[in-house]
Amino acid sequence: MGKLWSRLLIATGLKRKAKVSVCSCSLDLGLHPFQPSNAEEADIVRTKFPSFVEELTKKTEENYFQEDSPPFKLFPPSVRPDANKLGHGYPFNCEEEPSKKKVKWEKDYAAIKAEQDVANQFNIHFTNCRNEGFLFQPFHTDTYLKGMKEKAKQKRRGDAQRLHRDVDTLPLSEIEKNICECVGVNIGEIIESGKDLDDKIDEKAMKLKLKIKERERFKNKGKTLPNDEDKKNYVKYSQYKKEVYDNINCEMDLIITIAAKRTFLEVEIKSHSANIGLKSVLEKAAKQVSKGNKIVEKFHGDILREWDFVRVIALPNINKNELEKEACEHCSNFLIGSEEMDHFTPWIENLLSKLQISDCTSDAYRKLFARVVGCYSHSEHHSSTVTLSLAEARTENEKAITEKEKGVYSENSVPGESLPETFQLTDFDKKENKSVYLYWNPQQLELLLQNEDTKKRVLFNSSFGCGKTLLMKHFAHTLAKRDSDKKVFYISLAAAAGQQLDESKSSKLMWPAVFDIANGMDFDTRVEVIGVNNLIQHYQDKFNQHAACVNDLLETFMKDNPGHHFIDELPAYEGGRYHATKFSGPNLTHLTDPEWNDCCVWIALRPCKIDSVNYDKFTADAQAYREHLTDQLSFHIPPLSVNMRNSSSVKEVDNVYYARKRSVAPAPLPPNPVCGNPAIVIQCDNESYRGKTVTAAIGKYFKKTSEPVIIIVRHSSDIAQVVEECDKLSDRQVTTYYPRVITEESLLRRVITEEVTKLRQFLSEPAGYLVTDRLLFGGMQARNVICVNSGYTDTNSVTRAIAQVIVIEDKHYVKRVKDKKADIVV
């Protein structure tokens, strides 16, 4: 029979890849072909519950297999690391002696971090996978047939009420019997009676592996029932509950299915970090993946007859050499250690090369998808109903990074009250404080927990996305509540391209940046938001002339308005932000005056790119300026170095951009980033077609008409055609906000007022499209961004995106993408 089956597979082109080696240790990892099911039906669940399966199939087809759905699906549990901040927010240096709470915290954090680190490696690899498949992290097997299990419970309760019977003594219903068949549970007949039946109850109590107290309750109740029929029903139903709800349920740390490889892969992840006890940890993990293998085979063996189950164990904190001491050569190929984490691509490619290649239809995969994803999406393990249209996936990615789903906003201040003067671990149990502590990463928290003198003068010199604005807005809120005697000014210089102020272009600077308007909406009246336009007006009112540079505007305003100043997006350079030629910081010697002694001044320098010829001089001047601020004016420079805003797909685009030398090093993503939706690059060499290319991209990738999308246009000459084409989208709401050159000042002010009013409406309830330019949108965040001819050097426009970025560029940029083999859809 075996030879006949093998010949049949060869004849049909479905020859399975032979296992070249077998396990010679106790772990038994690697490939385990699903054994042919004993069930006669090819799809037993569809036979037993046709309408239920029909509904699941219909919903999954509608939600997951539309034209715009990614072929490989990373499900929200893998892109919504709800527990991330559990570890990130804990200040480990706040206690001298370790407490039980701290020890537990560290243990929980280690487990969470290990799972997220390993899942992230798989996420990155499969983000742009062109084959069908899906990834869950973690996966709960008790979600299978959840709807039918609930229906069976309701029927049993209803029948017991109607018949005035004990719910445990009713015979198994047809639904319950069908569930048993679908999950591979055999409830045998019980033919004993009288005393023999009481002995059977004792025997069953032992077989069910109940805890001591549960076992005694089971035996006592069973033996006191009035007749043999009730006793038999009671034993059967008890076995049903134990088998269906306990014995075949488990949590699988990470599962991956790959349709083209006909593979169901489970990864068991352990945070163990010591070589002592390593063998027992591996054996425990091996038992868990073995159990998962058996459960999946029981559930889905009828449709996965030619599939493989792959067992993998990951210990990301253990050296592979130590793991190999406890495993045979075969099993070592299916172990992930610290070396594999550092060089994951060769490991995963080697693993995939061991798997079979399928040329069969995806019928089995679609059936499996409907069962697994369809049932899972209706379980309590999801925080929301799962759909993976592009729009929903982008929303989930945004939630994972910002904890919100508004679509467009500036950095919002931390929820809840401000941090206390001193941090005590016992305070963490207070519900009102917990969200505050967990909101920050360690670098941010370290700054906020500094003493008041240190926090009085702060200079941020960090890359995009590190939380500079978030920290400044939070502390501005705090001071406004705490110190009512002094004014609090939040000064945003986002609208200024550089230090120089060209009088011929002064009308453009009268347009407040989107960031300034959003800040005005975020802050209450206790914080006064000041934009470049306000600084220009103040300077002109005082001197009746135009200022030469931004520093002149800033210094004049500060001297005339003592108080707490939070200065964001300061362009401390001459030239453009993408080709800075000279460092130029403001003169802050007035801070030594007595009236400034109790005033806080926080400054965030805007990152820039520097022409190579000026790089050495620029960096030397910048270093001298920083030393002057720290030595003479007691400024503190916090080491913010981790990008907390962008998904890895957005950073992938940033990494491809032309790499001029930067004023600060790019901030890497944290260890557990959100992958985001695959970045997309569209080649458009003819500038007259850029507007049409934008609307084509909208039609293809943003089919949900209300989804907010920001269109950032680099050249003013392109804005008109982009707006014209977008206006043709009759089903979309299009908002425009970009500077118009208007010579008559009264008309200019009226136009600005009207445009700002429309922009406020969009920011309040983002829906549809906002067409703007890169300067005016600087400092903001958005779920989705389309960059139109942003240029090789404009990383700032790209990093405005949180979940999805689409870049419309010419052939030169597309060539760079291909040359770097970046994970970007071209």
pLDDT digit string (tens) for 792-815? Answer: 546 778 888 888 888 888 777 777
Amino acid at site 491: I
Whole-number percent of the chain with pLDDT over 90: 26
Helix (H, G, I), strand (E, B) or coil at 490: strand
Say how far apart CA 713 and CA 710 lie, in whole Å: 10
Question: Is the pTM for the entire model greater than 0.85?
Answer: no
* DSSP H stretches of helix in 643-802: 648-656, 690-701, 716-727, 745-764, 795-798
Give the Å distances, CA to CA, from 794 to 281, 714, 739. 49, 9, 19
Chain segment 30-85, per-residue pLDDT in tens = 999 987 655 556 788 999 998 888 888 887 887 777 766 678 887 754 433 333 34
Helix (H, G, I), strand (E, B) or coil at 106: helix
Q: Given the structure tokens 């209300």, which residue do they identify?
A: 706
- Per-residue pLDDT band for 331 (boundaries 50, 70, 90) equals very high
pLDDT confidence of residue 623:
93
Sequence-separated (6 or more) residues with CB below 8 Å from residue 25: 326, 327, 328, 331
Q: Given the structure tokens 């910002």, which residue do they identify?
A: 402
Say how far apart CA 782 and CA 414 lie, in whole Å: 18
Position 470 pLDDT exceeds 60 = yes
Position with higher pLDDT, 192 vs 410: 410
Position with higher pLDDT, 107 vs 94: 107
Question: Residue 355: phi, psi to the nearest 5?
Answer: -90, 155
Rg over CA atoms, the chain: 32
- Per-residue pLDDT band for 258 (boundaries 50, 70, 90) equals very high
CA 375 to chain centre: 23
pLDDT confidence of residue 384:
39
Cβ–Cβ < 8 Å for 133, 362? no
> What's the token pair of residue 333?
């190929």
Sequence-separated (6 or more) residues with CB below 8 Å from residue 754: none
pLDDT confidence of residue 11:
35
Position 635 pLDDT exceeds 80 = yes
Question: Residue 350: phi, psi to the nearest 5?
Answer: -65, -40
Amino acid at site 566: F
Helix (H, G, I), strand (E, B) or coil at 638: coil
CA 170 to chain centre: 47
Helix (H, G, I), strand (E, B) or coil at 136: strand
Number of residues in the chain: 826
- Per-residue pLDDT band for 757 (boundaries 50, 70, 90) equals very high
Name the most confidently modeled range: 67-81, 234-248, 336-350.
336-350
- Per-residue pLDDT band for 14 (boundaries 50, 70, 90) equals very low
Sequence-separated (6 or more) residues with CB below 8 Å from residue 430: none
CA 209 to chain centre: 40
Question: Which candidate, 753, 748, 800, places its Cα nearest to that of 772?
Answer: 800
Lowest-confidence segment of 56-65, 296-305, 739-748 by average pLDDT: 56-65
Cβ–Cβ < 8 Å for 763, 780? no
Position 660 pLDDT exceeds 70 = no
Say how far apart CA 159 and CA 166 lie, in whole Å: 10
Question: Residue 119: phi, psi to the nearest 5?
Answer: -60, -35
Lowest-confidence segment of 240-244, 282-286, 413-417, 751-755 by average pLDDT: 413-417
Position 406 pLDDT exceeds 70 = yes
Cβ–Cβ < 8 Å for 580, 606? no
- Per-residue pLDDT band for 94 (boundaries 50, 70, 90) equals very low
> What's the token pair of residue 255?
């599962």
